[in-house]
Amino acid sequence: MYTIGIDIGTTNCKVCLFAIPSLELIHQHSFRTPKRVDGEHTDFNVHLIWDGIIHGITTITTVLNDAIQISAIAVASVGETGVLLDDNNNIIGPVLTWYDTRPKKQLEDIVSVINIEQLYEITGIPAHSNYSINKIKWLQDNISNGRSGRKWLCLAEYIAFKLSGMKYSEYSLASRTMALNIATMHWDEQLIKAAKLSTSLFNPLVQAGVAIGNVTPDIANLTGLSTKTRVTIAGHDHMCGSVAVGLNNEEQILNSTGTSEGLLVVTRTVNNTARFFRARVSNGIHVLPGHYSLYASLPSAGYAIEWFRNLFEIDMPAFLRMIETLCTEQDKLVLGALDGIFIPHLRGSGPPDRNTWSQALLYGFNDKSRPRDLLRFVFQGLCFELKNLLDLYEILTGKIYPVVNVIGAACKNPYWLQLKANILNREIVACHVSEAVSRGAAILAAKAVGVDIAHLCGIDKAQTQHYLPESKAVSHYQAIYTQVYKPLYEFKMRTEHFYNGANL
């Protein structure tokens, strides 16, 4: 038996075929996520995403040559982003990326009716323009036929609809809309009314891994799939990644890395008290039944590295050579020397002071600095940001996480992983899982056809690599963190609050 896991990410989309129960990756098709960029505004090109997914599925069925063995297909995606559909299921207006900040005014309008503390208590997430409800309002306010929108589907839900013809919303994605009551697990009528929207925009809710239908005959003819293939929504990509590595209790923490990076803890309760509100961390409904998530993301991780490469026009072979040089220099670290500081707020800041208007800061350059010095600052800055977030988690939860499990792009970068170990002063376990999000989606697809997935979640020790903190380096980076990074971070944030008219 086989299942397909689809991962619609910010940078890349993946369509992956896995054998069940071995979870061997049989075949994969990936492509750059198509976008339209207009100055500071960025939209997903959903039509081209759909074409790429259809091409990927067709490639898989051609290679397999026995599509009847593909029992189910599941779709995971970034959160917040979605499509507004009219009566004929046509997409209305642009599909704003999750990080696009155009709906700021729409958020202000909602907050004028329901204050941010009450919003957090209802939804479990800090008020932010990224969330879906603000995108819907922006489309209504700025697109000529925006008010003819009849249904909202998050990105993975839309692809699942295109495959099956069925419109459903999945809980982990719904909890990123700012329209779901996280305690009752229902759409919140009071909040939706405050946004001057209709509850009819939102669909019946379903748990990840529950079949919503079968592949339609048209899609079967187009791709070579069977009409017996079940379709399910896998949900939010970071949650799917946690399933792939077996993260299922409150003692574990996951560092999911990609275009952004975040820290994820699986919980049994919602943490929407005032303490968590002040820290601006996000609660969510997990893709595993009966579980919730505590999640906070840093908007720039892989994106900061991509920004560096574009800035200096460095191709991948040259970049990899630069990483090798940094590895050598890391072994010759001059302890006690002040290094540069990079605060990577290229797309705003994450918790504990989450703001779309926050700007990046670079300190420590001089006339002898080289591009690889800036790259070192970038990696260190990403790790200092992550340490700031980990410290926050441990204060909030009252737990110490001695081991940080890592999935995603960072697992291919030993320099970054050792730096994480030294700056976080934690054991880093790199989970070398091929396409973790797609794998998690494929596991949830297996659930949709009755497979007990308890024994599928998790990875073998042979698939992990451990990085331990080096005591001298830990002391070196701790001094920089407390004496330079934190004062600069706090000064920068105070200055930006003042500049943007916020209260100090």
Cβ contacts of residue 77 below 8 Å, gap of 6+?
7, 8, 9, 154, 155, 156, 159, 173, 236, 237
Predicted structure pTM score:
0.87
- In 137-291 the beta strands, taken as DSSP E runs, fall at 151-154, 169-170, 180-181, 186-187, 205-206, 211-214, 230-236, 254-257, 261-267, 282-285
For the chain, list residues with pLDDT below 50: 336, 502-504
Question: How many Å apart are CA 118 and CA 288, to the nearest integer?
Answer: 27
pLDDT digits (tens, 9 = 90+) for 7-30: 999 999 999 999 999 999 999 999
The matching CATH number, chosen from 3.30.420.40, 3.40.50.1110, 3.90.550.10, 3.40.50.10210, for 2-245 is 3.30.420.40
pLDDT digits (tens, 9 = 90+) for 271-318: 999 999 998 899 999 999 999 999 888 888 889 999 999 999 999 999
Reduced to 3 states, what is the DSSP secondary structure of residue 49? helix
Q: Specify burial of residue 307 (Cβ count, 10 A radius: 0-12, 13-18, 19+).
A: middle
Average pLDDT of the chain is 92
What pLDDT, on the 0 to 100 scale, is given for residue 127?
A: 93
- In 240-391 the beta strands, taken as DSSP E runs, fall at 254-257, 261-267, 282-285, 292-298, 341-343, 361-363
According to CATH, the topology of domain 298-432+470-499 is Nucleotidyltransferase; domain 5 (3.30.420)
How many CB atoms within 10 Å of residue 500? 11
> What are the extents of the domains in the chain?
2-245, 298-432+470-499
Q: Quick one: which of 414, 419, 405 has its CA closest to 474?
A: 419
What pLDDT, on the 0 to 100 scale, is given for residue 503?
A: 43
Question: How many Å apart are CA 297 and CA 176, to the nearest integer?
Answer: 13
Contact between 362 and 340 under an 8 Å Cβ cutoff? The reply is yes
Contact between 254 and 264 under an 8 Å Cβ cutoff? The reply is yes
In order of 124, 140, 332, 438, the CA distances from 46 in angstroms are: 29, 19, 48, 19
Reduced to 3 states, what is the DSSP secondary structure of residue 206? strand
Same fold? 2-245, 298-432+470-499 = yes
Task: Give me 123's structure tokens.
Answer: 């939804």
Question: How many Å apart are CA 370 and CA 80, to the nearest integer?
Answer: 38
Contact between 156 and 163 under an 8 Å Cβ cutoff? The reply is no
What pLDDT, on the 0 to 100 scale, is given for residue 333?
A: 57
